[in-house]
Amino acid sequence: MNIVERFLKYVSFDTQSSEETGTTPSTEKQRVFAEYLKEELLREGLQEVELDELGYLYATLPANTEKQVPTIGFIAHMDTSPDASGKDVKPRIVENYDGSDIVLSEGIVTSPTKFPELLDHKGEDLIVTDGTSLLGADDKAGIAEIVQAMVYLQQHPEIQHGKIRIGFNPDEEIGLGAHHFDVEKFGCEFAYTMDGSEVGEIEFENFNAASAKVTINGCSVHPGYAKDKMVNAARIATELVGMLPADETPETTEGYEGFFHLTSISGGVEKAQLSFIIRDHDREYFESRKTEMQDIVTAINDKYGEGVAQLDLNDQYHNMREMVESKMYIIDIAKQAIAEASMPPKVKAIRGGTDGAQLSFKGLPCPNIFAGGLNFHGPHEFCPVQSLEKAMQTVVNICKITAKELGK
């Protein structure tokens, strides 16, 4: 089975995660895919294949060298985003893409006018959807690349490598993928998540992240007799949003700039609820953003009465740079591996999060490497075949370089 066949098989599984269930994995269909992968890994000759009760799958490719080489790992997630359907994915391959519009189905067009990154892949073979679902390259491309690399290494015993561990986890898309990942059992000195986008990218900086949920408690009174009595929760909710800096939102920021993002607002006179995410790469600015949110809620209560606004503020993850920068040799290995796969390495910061951030803070330094898909979480997602192949070769190269540079 080649990497394209493997990837197309994987996207036939609906593995959408859910924030509503409170279970791990959050959806049973993720476990169905995990069971399939378990059997596939056994067929492909992997050892120590273990699927635990929470849907985390681990396996080993034993070392083929007498050198003492650090055990390294490769990690990808099995779930797809709740933002778009992952059911009945109907992929097709646009061969030798010519740079024009791609008609996914009647009335649904992926155009380089809206998605200019398409033009970076002219002449390549693009795997696209039919416009009714996402594709699932996030992160089934990563899984296919890791599995194919393990197969390749077994087919090429002349490539020396140390012990390699692989791990596939559920629920990354709802922020829970690393919560039950058994770092001690995984037993690696360092690892890489294969979960990035454009070819050549390496990421070891990500946002510091917090969630903020605000409840506004109002008082409903007949509007004809409401003077000095009514407390309109919905109106106060909009006032609170207006107190945040208008130029510090996802729509107005880029690069290392942080933001406040209102993800939902609902309610009426009696009660209103707002949900925000708070993001910043800089830890000091991140803490000041949380303080700003707290100060705004305090100001609302000072104006309308204590307890009118209630804030539930929680950290989600932090910038993995804090945990990786003392081990920059693992970034150097990735750079060399990408260069040897005939690509310029591109170090960039993630404007988002990654399982690697949480794993790094659990004691497993874990930068992120490109998996090749683009336009994630929607029907215009696509993945170049050539990107799958280059990512797979990058995994092989990391294994080879680690044995050569760190083996004793």
C-alpha distances in angstroms, 210 versus 45, 291, 349, 353, 361? 42, 12, 18, 11, 16
DSSP letters spanning 62-101: ---SSS----EEEEEE--B-TTS--SS---EEETT--SS-
Nearest Cα residue to 172 out of 368, 346, 37, 325: 368
What is the distance between the alpha carbons of residues 124 and 372, in angstroms, rounded to a whole number?
Answer: 12
Dig out the tokens for 278 from the structure: 């708070």
CA–CA separation, 278 vs 261, rounded Å?
Answer: 6
User: What is d(CA 265, CA 275) in angstroms, rounded to the nearest whole number?
Assistant: 7
400: its two tokens: 């080879």
Q: Residue 128: which of 103, 147, 146 has the closest Cα?
A: 103
Place of tokens 């490109």: 370
Q: Rounded CA gap, 161 and 192, in Å? A: 16
Catalytic residue among 40, 139, 145, 172: 172
CA dihedral 155, 158, 161, 164 (to 10 degrees): 10
Active-site position among 79, 201, 205, 355 = 79
β-pair type (108-110, 102-105): antiparallel
Is residue 172 among the annotated active site residues?
yes
Rounded distance between C-alpha atoms, residue 231 and residue 112, angstroms: 49
Structure tokens given for 130:
């039919």
Q: Cα Rg for the chain, rounded, in angstroms?
A: 23
The residues annotated as belonging to the active site are 79, 172
